[in-house]
Amino acid sequence: MPIDDAKPLRADAARNRARIMAAAEQVFSERGPAASTEEVANRAGVAIGTVFRHFPTKADLLRAIMKDLLARLVSDVDDLRRGSEPGDALFAFFTNLVAHSARQKTVIDLLAAAGSELNVPDAVGTLERSVGGLLRAAQQAGTVRRDVGLAEVMALLVAVCQGAVQAGWPADLQTRTLAVVFAGLAPR
Amino acid sequence: MPIDDAKPLRADAARNRARIMAAAEQVFSERGPAASTEEVANRAGVAIGTVFRHFPTKADLLRAIMKDLLARLVSDVDDLRRGSEPGDALFAFFTNLVAHSARQKTVIDLLAAAGSELNVPDAVGTLERSVGGLLRAAQQAGTVRRDVGLAEVMALLVAVCQGAVQAGWPADLQTRTLAVVFAGLAPR
Amino acid sequence: MPIDDAKPLRADAARNRARIMAAAEQVFSERGPAASTEEVANRAGVAIGTVFRHFPTKADLLRAIMKDLLARLVSDVDDLRRGSEPGDALFAFFTNLVAHSARQKTVIDLLAAAGSELNVPDAVGTLERSVGGLLRAAQQAGTVRRDVGLAEVMALLVAVCQGAVQAGWPADLQTRTLAVVFAGLAPR
Amino acid sequence: MPIDDAKPLRADAARNRARIMAAAEQVFSERGPAASTEEVANRAGVAIGTVFRHFPTKADLLRAIMKDLLARLVSDVDDLRRGSEPGDALFAFFTNLVAHSARQKTVIDLLAAAGSELNVPDAVGTLERSVGGLLRAAQQAGTVRRDVGLAEVMALLVAVCQGAVQAGWPADLQTRTLAVVFAGLAPR
DNA sequence: AATGAATGAGAATTCATTCAT
DNA sequence: AATGAATGAATTCTCATTCAT
């Protein structure tokens, strides 16, 4: 049961599509969303036309990256729910996401801009639902206050990630900042 | 005693400079830093050449806006230190900044990008020192834990503002998110 | 006795060739000669490569359409010569062609451009000879002046058709315009 | 009393605008409306940006040319009404337009396309009104049948011009073709 | 033979910056 | 000092044509 793509791609096309997305992730992370599609093509080792064949519009490319990254996040969440104590999973996910967001400037930027320019509603919604699961579990385990809502958790998540990414916080600053947030979430 | 500008400007030149900066603040807030210099000129009611006479480069203009906004923030901090209980001033500043950042997308964006692209080190340093004052005062008043550092306070400040701005948090989400942060800063 | 095509085509190849030409006629009629070959392929239900296998160049495709349409016109003329009074056949052909040219924007455009860009000399020549037959018959029947030449009849034919097509003349304007032309051709 | 342009242009800008329009007229006449804006710029001796500063869109440029050429036609009509017998002016205008249309492929093409892609309604309307004047005068002078309408005269005008232009009719073919049309317009 | 992905040379348009007026 | 026209490099996107599958 294919989840995403209607038409199976030819082997070479699939390879190129993947290369392009990887290149785009890199390029946009390094140079921001204003980076040129041409550079993405170069980095992917294909001609510019190939990029536009796969993603008819630059915005389509950005959307595709975002969908992909969000999907990865959701699957991270699922892994965590299986592998950790329910009370810890939210904190673990939070910490992880911040730690990796350096590599994922794009996700974060796009997450932050989610409402505005690009539209990837279901993907964002899915992530939100996943995090919601973590939050409820943590609240039932008693590691997070009952009066904290999903909205503010998501807000803090995005905000801290974006801060971490854009300002390039070193590891210890990440830790100390998260300590404050976690203390704010804890009961009492 | 002019601190920054070497040459006193002719009255009309000064007026134009001010108009341009005001227009630029608006335009970049609305359209992001990719907005065109031409539009800034239009909004300011001057010709494009005039903008470039005052700010030889688009980056110079952005830097100037940032310096200006940071200076305003610093003076806000000073006002607060005089007008509120020492224990509350930090929270008040924090809340204020978040609330107003909607209008100041530019500051926040620029603050966030401070380290990277533009360089306005002294301005940022000055703000950091001011906030440091608020923090120490709050810690002495016992409203903020002693083991919280200035770095993470600044980090949270920027992160939350940026989140608020870019995602357009409604007022109640701002409140609830700040509640978590403040709880995290409070002793015990 | 195949006049034009050297190699007999496999059945499926012939079918594709026909489909492509039909699609091309439609597409170029609707969108003008700037329409993309890709769209022709889509409309024909074949892949783009197939179009280029049959017509190595876009110009070749246009030429082929034109040849085909001209051939149809010639056969129309022949039908008319058999089925109408000699004195009326030219007028009937003229009227018919104008009336149908809406559907045949391509022919007309190509007929008009005949001399310039594309070269389909024999096809045009053949049509001209056919119309010449109609003209002589009409002159002998006394419905057209003797001092009118084939060149100007062809010229008027093309001109009026093109006018009708490009400006989208309604039926009554076609009628009234042709009335003037026919009056001009009539003796006295 | 300025008829067309709201803002007076600087001398150099006006010079460039004129050069661009002249170049565009040439280029589009030679290569059709698909010719590149870059070539217009080259021919005009300006940079590509200058063309787009004056005409923000390629379509704007085409429209401007058309307006200009139509205006010239209208003024030709006015001149003729003053300088010839009322009964002849329509024929003279017709003949002139056809003769010059070789140089004015653009006008004709645009006139023909008037309804469809570009919109220059008032300009076309003005021409139509002018020609209407010639027609009425000719009918009153008895050189044109009373039952001929303006619509078909315009239709023939456009059609014959376009034919002449696109197929490159030599002078004698023009003459002979017009002879038929004029005979069709004459009383009896 | 057919497919459809890849190529890459344009084409239109934008915009920071320069410079004549 | 101000004006605003000119420049031209850069960017997004299109499309005829080629070529691996």
Q: What is the pLDDT of residues B116-168, one digit of tens each?
A: 455 666 767 888 999 999 999 999 999 999 999 999 999 999 888 878 877 77
* Cβ–Cβ under 8 Å, residues D110 and D66: yes
pTM: 0.83
- The answer, for D3 touching chain C at a CB cutoff of 8 Å, is no
Q: What gap in Å lies between CA A158 and CA B167, rounded to an integer?
A: 9
* Cβ–Cβ under 8 Å, residues A166 and A105: yes
Q: Which residues contact B38 (CB under 8 A, 6 or more apart)?
A: B48
User: Considering only CB atoms, which chain C residues are within 8 Å of D182?
Assistant: 184
Residue of A177, A181, A188 to mutate, testing the B interface (most B Cβ within 10 Å of its Cβ): A177
Looking at domain C65-185, its CATH class is: mainly alpha
Q: What gap in Å lies between CA A76 and CA D112, rounded to an integer?
A: 63
- Closest protein CA to C1' of nucleotide F5, residue: D13
Name the neighbours of D, counting chains with at least 3 Cβ pairs within 8 A: C
User: Mean pLDDT across chain B, nearest whole number?
Assistant: 85
- Our CA-based measurement puts residue B14 at a distance from the nearest CA of chain A, in whole angstroms, of 33
> Taking CB atoms and an 8 Å limit, are A155 and B168 in contact across chains?
no
Dihedral angle sign, alpha carbons of residues C159, C160, C161, C165: positive
User: Considering only CB atoms, which chain A residues are within 8 Å of B159?
Assistant: 159-160, 162-164, 177
What's the Å distance between residue D19 CA and nucleotide F7 C1'? 17
> Taking CB atoms and an 8 Å limit, are B152 and A173 in contact across chains?
yes
What is the mean pLDDT of the segment spanning D102-114?
Answer: 60
List helix spans (H) across chain C.
11-31, 37-44, 48-54, 58-83, 86-101, 105-112, 121-141, 150-167, 171-185
* Cβ–Cβ under 8 Å, residues A116 and A61: no
Lowest mean pLDDT among B150-154, C47-51, D45-49, D103-107: D103-107
Exposed e or buried b per residue across A165-184, where buried means at least 16 C-beta atoms within 10 angstroms of its C-beta: bbbebeeebbebbbebbbbb
Tens of pLDDT, residue by residue over C121-146, are: 676 788 899 999 999 999 999 999 99
Q: What gap in Å lies between CA B171 and CA B96, rounded to an integer?
A: 12
**pLDDT for residue A178:** 95
What is the mean pLDDT of the segment spanning C40-55?
Answer: 96
**pLDDT for residue A132:** 94
Q: Is the pLDDT assigned to residue D1 strictly greater than 50?
A: no
**pLDDT for residue B2:** 47
**pLDDT for residue C165:** 75
**pLDDT for residue C104:** 66
Q: Is the pLDDT assigned to residue A174 strictly greater than 60?
A: yes
> Taking CB atoms and an 8 Å limit, are D180 and C184 in contact across chains?
yes
Q: What gap in Å lies between CA D111 and CA D66, rounded to an integer?
A: 8
Dihedral angle sign, alpha carbons of residues A24, A27, A33, A36: negative
- What percentage of chain D exceeds 90 in pLDDT? 49
Q: What gap in Å lies between CA C80 and CA C93, rounded to an integer?
A: 7
Most confident of A72-76, B27-31, D113-117: A72-76
Residue bearing tokens 């469809």: D116
> Taking CB atoms and an 8 Å limit, are C152 and D173 in contact across chains?
yes
> Taking CB atoms and an 8 Å limit, are B177 and A158 in contact across chains?
no
Beta strands in chain B (DSSP E): none
Confidence of residue C20 (pLDDT cuts 50, 70, 90): very high
User: Considering only CB atoms, which chain D residues are within 8 Å of C182?
Assistant: 184
Tens of pLDDT, residue by residue over C49-85, are: 999 999 999 989 988 988 888 888 889 899 988 988 9
Tens of pLDDT, residue by residue over B39-75, are: 999 999 999 999 999 999 998 998 898 888 888 888 9
* Of D181 and C166, more confident: D181
What is the mean pLDDT of the segment spanning C181-187?
Answer: 96
Q: Is the pLDDT assigned to residue B110 strictly greater than 90?
A: no
What is the mean pLDDT of the segment spanning B169-177?
Answer: 90
* Of B96 and D39, more confident: D39
**pLDDT for residue A114:** 47
CA C184 → CA A109, C156, C180, D188, distances in Å?
74, 11, 6, 10
Name the neighbours of A, counting chains with at least 3 Cβ pairs within 8 A: B
Helices C150-167 and D171-185 pack at an angle, to 10 degrees, of 70
**pLDDT for residue A170:** 86
A in contact with D (at least 3 C-beta pairs within 8 A) = no
> Taking CB atoms and an 8 Å limit, are C177 and D152 in contact across chains?
yes
User: Considering only CB atoms, which chain C residues are within 8 Å of D188?
Assistant: 188
Confidence of residue C158 (pLDDT cuts 50, 70, 90): confident
Tens of pLDDT, residue by residue over A4-14, are: 545 666 788 99
Q: What gap in Å lies between CA D177 and CA D169, rounded to an integer?
A: 10
> Taking CB atoms and an 8 Å limit, are D159 and C164 in contact across chains?
yes
What is the mean pLDDT of the segment spanning C112-126?
Answer: 63
What is the mean pLDDT of the segment spanning A160-177?
Answer: 84
What's the Å distance between residue B57 CA and nucleotide E18 C1'? 12
> Taking CB atoms and an 8 Å limit, are A181 and B156 in contact across chains?
yes
Q: Which residues contact D179 (CB under 8 A, 6 or more apart)?
A: C152, C184
User: Considering only CB atoms, which chain B residues are within 8 Å of A148?
Assistant: 180
**pLDDT for residue A115:** 44
User: Mean pLDDT across chain A, nearest whole number?
Assistant: 85
Q: Is the pLDDT assigned to residue C109 strictly greater than 70?
A: no
User: Mean pLDDT across chain C, nearest whole number?
Assistant: 85
- What percentage of chain B exceeds 90 in pLDDT? 48
Q: A74 — phi, psi (to 5°)? A: -60, -40
**pLDDT for residue D137:** 95
- Our CA-based measurement puts residue C177 at a distance from the nearest CA of chain D, in whole angstroms, of 5
Confidence of residue D73 (pLDDT cuts 50, 70, 90): confident
**pLDDT for residue A3:** 47
What's the Å distance between residue A114 CA and nucleotide F5 C1'? 40
Superfamily of D1-56 according to CATH? Homeodomain-like (1.10.10.60)
Most confident of A124-128, B4-8, B109-113, C88-92: C88-92
What is the mean pLDDT of the segment spanning B70-91?
Answer: 90
What is the mean pLDDT of the segment spanning D32-61?
Answer: 94
* Of D5 and B9, more confident: B9
List helix spans (H) across chain D.
11-31, 37-44, 48-54, 58-83, 86-100, 105-112, 121-141, 150-167, 171-185
Q: What gap in Å lies between CA A88 and CA A70, rounded to an integer?
A: 21
- Give the pair of three-digit tokens for residue D46: 């300006």
* Domain segments of chain B as ranges: 1-56, 63-185
- The answer, for C158 touching chain D at a CB cutoff of 8 Å, is yes
Nearest chain B residue (CA) to A157: B163
- Give the pair of three-digit tokens for residue A17: 């599509």
Lowest mean pLDDT among B73-82, B87-96, D160-169: D160-169
User: Considering only CB atoms, which chain C residues are within 8 Å of D112?
Assistant: 162-163, 166-167
Q: What gap in Å lies between CA B100 and CA B164, rounded to an integer?
A: 10
**pLDDT for residue B170:** 86
Nearest chain A residue (CA) to B154: A177
What is the mean pLDDT of the segment spanning A27-55?
Answer: 93
Q: Is the pLDDT assigned to residue D110 strictly greater than 70?
A: no
Distance of CA C148 to the CA centre of its chain: 22
* Cβ–Cβ under 8 Å, residues D61 and D118: no
**pLDDT for residue A32:** 78
Confidence of residue D104 (pLDDT cuts 50, 70, 90): low
- What percentage of chain C exceeds 90 in pLDDT? 48
**H helix or E strand, kind and range, residue B90:** helix B86-100
Superfamily of D63-185 according to CATH? Tetracycline Repressor, domain 2 (1.10.357.10)
* Of D11 and A155, more confident: A155
What is the mean pLDDT of the segment spanning C1-11?
Answer: 60
User: Considering only CB atoms, which chain D residues are within 8 Å of C152?
Assistant: 173, 176-177, 179-180
- Tell me if A1-56 shares its fold with A65-185: no
**pLDDT for residue C95:** 92
Cα dihedral angle (B36, B38, B42, B44), rounded to 10 degrees? Answer: 80
What Rg, from alpha-carbon coordinates, does chain C have? Answer: 18
Nearest chain A residue (CA) to B173: A152
What is the mean pLDDT of the segment spanning D93-109?
Answer: 75
Most confident of A164-173, D21-30, D176-185: D176-185
Q: Which residues contact A17 (CB under 8 A, 6 or more apart)?
A: A9, A54
Confidence of residue B22 (pLDDT cuts 50, 70, 90): very high
Is residue D78 classed as helix, strand or coil in its secondary structure?
Answer: helix
Instruction: Residue D33: name the closest of B79, C33, B141 by CA.
Output: C33
> Would you tell me which residues 38-97 of chain A have a C-beta closer than 8 angstroms to some C-beta of chain B?
none
> Would you tell me which residues 113-142 of chain A have a C-beta closer than 8 angstroms to some C-beta of chain B?
113-116
- The answer, for C160 touching chain D at a CB cutoff of 8 Å, is yes
**pLDDT for residue A173:** 92
What is the mean pLDDT of the segment spanning A32-49?
Answer: 93
